[in-house]
Amino acid sequence: MVMDVGERDGDGEDGGWENMGEDNGTKSPTDLVDETVSMIEYVARFGDYRRAQRKECYNLARRMKILLPFFDEIRHHGSPISHNCVASLSRLKKAIRLAMKLLKTCNEGSKIHLALESEAIMIKFHNAYVKLTQALEELPFDELEVSDEVREQIELMLTQLTRAKKRTDTQDIELAVDLMAVSSKTDERNADIAIVERLAKKLDLHTVEDLKIETIAVKKLSKERGSTAESIQQIIQLLNKFKQVLGMEITNVLDDTDTPQKLSKCHSLVIPHEFLCPITLEIMRDPVIVASGQTFERESIQKWFDSNNRTCPKTRQTLAHLSVAPNYALKNLITQWCEKNNFHLPKKEDQASSRKFFVDHEDEISCLVEQLSSSQLEVQRKAVKNIRVLSKENPETRVLIAKHGAIPRLVKLLSYPDSKIQEHAVTALLNLSIDESNKRLITDEHAIPAIIEVLQNGSMESKENSAAALFSLSMLDENKVTIALENGIPPLVDLLQNGTIRGKRDAVTALFSLSLNQLNKVRAIEAGIVPPLMLLLEDKKLGMVDEALSILLLLATHAEGRHEMGQLSFIQTLVDIIKDGTPKNKECATSVLLELSSNNYSHILAALQFGVYEHLVQIAESGTNRAQRKANGLLQLMSKSEQIP
């Protein structure tokens, strides 16, 4: 995706900072200090940041706050401040404004966009570090009569900023894996639902409120970037997938005018914000208080707890207990407001019938779980099939199925000789593994060896869903090791080479996740992963070029992987992709070629012979941000090796 890495982020409505632009030497020292302090205090009020940049944001905000004692001393500076000092303070203010705009973007911007562009955002952070470092190093501390204590704090901050500048990109690799899988897959099976739900949780986009706010952010971004841009369309597709998981209506994001602020009876009547449930953004009928002190609609927070969440949806803090207390005071205020404004609460489903349905559903699940251990084959087959169907429904059902002890019984069914029972059992475990706590329950039942056995010897559909299940379970780092030690990589490589298109997709996704572990790279190479990956590059109809290149990039960081790839035919394939591939193809191929060439100059010469130079120049000018960096890195390598002028 293409993103301008200039100083565009944060432009627009940013709390009145638009007028704090160039100072042109006209600001007084007092004005400069007051405005700079106001910006730091503005940043301090940000409640949270997007997942992909959270650590960097908190570090930058904390460092900015370190400067407050410095500005306090300047305020009480006795003698007049020279023009040189004013100029230094002005440069520091500009650096802080740049940092503030970046933090504002990470606080309010589209979560999906910031995750997709995490590498480009890291460049902005490095730029902010450079500007702050330069401004702080130029401060005339002696002339400003800064105390030794404050000066030491700033010198410590400079050391931290220098260290931050030298750090490599800190993109969450698992977040990148899920984004790649969700963006590239067209197969709408349960495995996709698992990835979408996990990704929604990672991006904090798993409530109606989250998605309504994200929709507004995406609309704002589309106005800035243009609604027809490929990057915007990709973001909208991901947003719609998250909405589908929650059962929300899919509308045209760019035409939809609904916003959280428009939850009102009519245009002249706005519901007070404190009357709205933070989860649904609907007026509360039965407000209750949770352990964090926040208030929610009883039904909404109960659904949150039933989905195995143990945190406050608003503050994200872990709750000491899951008990709730009625908020009678707020309920009375809502009632009085409704009567005063003649506002009628929307009709709600009859609670008794709703509870009855839930109890009936639970009874059905309990009965089906018992039937999994039946001595009659047909009863077992029917029960496991129904469990498979129910486990696909929603998070609450998956929790209920596990609660009634289905997981150990399903694991036992994996070793049954009946192929249909085997297929239904492994698919049900795949569906149940969507829930994070269920992953651990499945692992604790030693399911991984049994799933690998199905992957080796089961029917084709069983193999496909076994691969998808291993991918889901591999999200736990310890399972990456377990799967490899149980010899799970060779059958995945075999499925990659000989499976259906669906099987190849499931295998390549699982192998990517497993290859994030350094030792697993060697195991995958020894299992013969490189040749089938190269075949995926050659067969464009399969649509898995990006996935294959992503794994090859991981393997290229290992000497054995580079040895396997170091063939002239492979270098030519990379050059062909750099020449004719999609923007994302070009980015991935350039990254792989850079990794290979950094360790072997002969690859540079081979790539030049295949005509890569002019295409690298073009990518360096107009490719994605990451592709531009990789292309420039290759051009520098070529220059150093004296292969180009």
What distance lies between CA 548 and its chain's CA centroid?
21
- Name which of 94-108, 109-123, 283-297, 363-377 the model is least confident about: 109-123
Task: Note the pLDDT of residue 7.
Answer: 29
In sign, the C-alpha dihedral spanning 470, 473, 475, 477 is negative
| 445 pLDDT tier (thresholds 50, 70, 90) | very high
Q: Give Cα 12 to chain centroid, integer Å.
A: 25
The whole-number pLDDT of residue 421 equals 92
Contact predicate 385/371, CB 8 Å? no
Listed by start position, the domains of the chain span 27-168, 184-244, 275-339, 353-562, 565-644
Q: What is the H or E stretch that residue 288 is in?
A: strand 287-289
Q: Is the pLDDT of residue 563 over 60?
A: yes
**Per-residue pLDDT at 90 exceeds 60:** yes
Q: How many CB atoms lie within 10 A of CB 393?
A: 13
Structure tokens at 591: 């990254």
- Measure CA 68 to chain center: 33
pLDDT digits (tens, 9 = 90+) for 625-643: 788 888 898 888 888 765 5
What secondary structure, in 3-state letters, does 290-319 show? Answer: CCCCCEEEHHHHHHHHHCCCCECCCCCCEC
Q: How far apart are CA 283 and CA 506, in angstroms?
A: 43
Residue 605, pLDDT > 70, answer yes
pLDDT in tens, 469-493: 999 899 888 999 999 999 999 999 9
- List the one residue out of 62, 122, 128, 58 whose CA is nearest residue 95: 128
Q: pLDDT tens across 7-40, in order?
A: 223 333 334 444 444 444 456 788 888 888 888 8
Determine phi and psi for 618, rounding to 5 degrees. Answer: -65, -45
Q: Which residue has the higher pLDDT, 179 or 129?
A: 129
Residue 49 near residue 106 (C-beta atoms within 8 A): yes
Q: Which two tokens stand for residue 368?
A: 């089906």
CA distance 414 to 417: 8
Give φ, ψ of 266 to 5 degrees.
-150, 180
CA dist., res. 532 & res. 520, Å (int) = 17
**What pLDDT shows up at residue 4?**
32
Q: Is the dihedral of CA 271, 273, 279, 284 positive or negative?
A: negative
Write the burial class of residue 442 (CB in 10 Å: 0-12 exposed, 13-18 middle, 19+ buried).
buried
DSSP-derived 3-state class of residue 495: helix
Closest CA to 433 of 423, 444, 442, 445: 442
> What span, in angstroms and rounded, lies between the C-alpha atoms of 282 and 295?
13
What distance in Å separates the CA atoms of residue 411 and residue 355, rounded to the nearest whole number?
31
Segment (H or E) for 466: helix 460-473
SS3 287: strand
Tokens read off for 78 = 């006795």
User: Is 180:234 a contact under the CB 8 Å cutoff?
Assistant: no
Q: How far is CA 328 from CA 122, 276, 287, 288, 289, in A?
A: 47, 15, 8, 8, 10
CA distance 536 to 640: 33
420: Cβ contacts below 8 Å, ≥ 6 apart: 381, 385
In the chain, % of residues over pLDDT 70: 82
Cα–Cα distance measured from residue 421 to residue 380, given in angstroms and rounded to the nearest whole number = 8
Across 73-82, 279-288, 630-639, the highest mean pLDDT is recorded for 630-639
The pairs formed by 102-105 with CB atoms below 8 angstroms and a separation of 24 or more are: 102/9, 102/10, 102/60, 102/128, 103/43, 103/46, 103/49, 103/57, 103/60, 103/61, 104/9, 104/10, 104/14, 104/15, 104/43, 104/46, 105/9, 105/10
Least confident interval from 30-39, 233-242, 372-381:
233-242
Asked whether the whole model's pTM tops 0.85, one would answer: no
pLDDT confidence of 200, banded at 50, 70, 90? Answer: confident
The per-residue b/e assignment along 526-545, b for 16 or more CB within 10 angstroms, e otherwise, is: ebbbbebbbebbeeeebebb
Is the pLDDT at 589 greater than 60? The verdict is yes
Mean pLDDT value of segment 346-351: 49
Q: Which residues contact 42 (CB under 8 A, 6 or more apart)?
A: 15, 17, 100
67 close to 154: Cβ distance less than 8 angstroms: yes
Task: Just give the CATH number of 353-562.
Answer: 1.25.10.10
Sequence-distant contacts of 499-505: CB under 8 A, at least 24 apart: 499/460, 499/463, 499/464, 500/460, 500/464, 501/542, 502/187, 502/189, 502/464, 503/460, 503/463, 503/464, 503/467, 504/536, 504/542, 504/544, 505/185, 505/187, 505/544, 505/547
**Residues 497-512: tens digit of each pLDDT:** 999 988 998 899 899 9
Tell me the mean pLDDT in the region 493-497. Answer: 94
> Residue 538 has which token pair?
């050659």
What is the per-residue pLDDT for 566? 77
Segment 122-136 mean pLDDT:
89
pLDDT of residue 490: 96
* The pLDDT of residue 454 is above 80: yes
Q: Is 437 left (phi over 0), alpha (psi -120 to 50) or beta?
A: alpha
Q: Supply the DSSP string of 200-235, one letter for each residue.
A: HHHTT--SHHHHHHHHHHHHHHHHHH-TTSHHHHHH
Res 348: pLDDT: 52
Q: Please report, to the nearest 10 degrees, the dihedral formed by the alpha carbons of residues 300, 301, 307, 308 taken in order.
A: 180
Q: State residue 425's pLDDT score.
A: 94
Total number of residues shown for the chain: 645
Q: Rounded to 5 degrees, what angle do the CA atoms 330, 334, 336 make?
A: 115
What value does the mean pLDDT of the chain take?
80
**Domain at 275-339, CATH homologous superfamily:** Zinc/RING finger domain, C3HC4 (zinc finger) (3.30.40.10)
Backbone angles phi, psi at 311, to 5 degrees: -120, 165
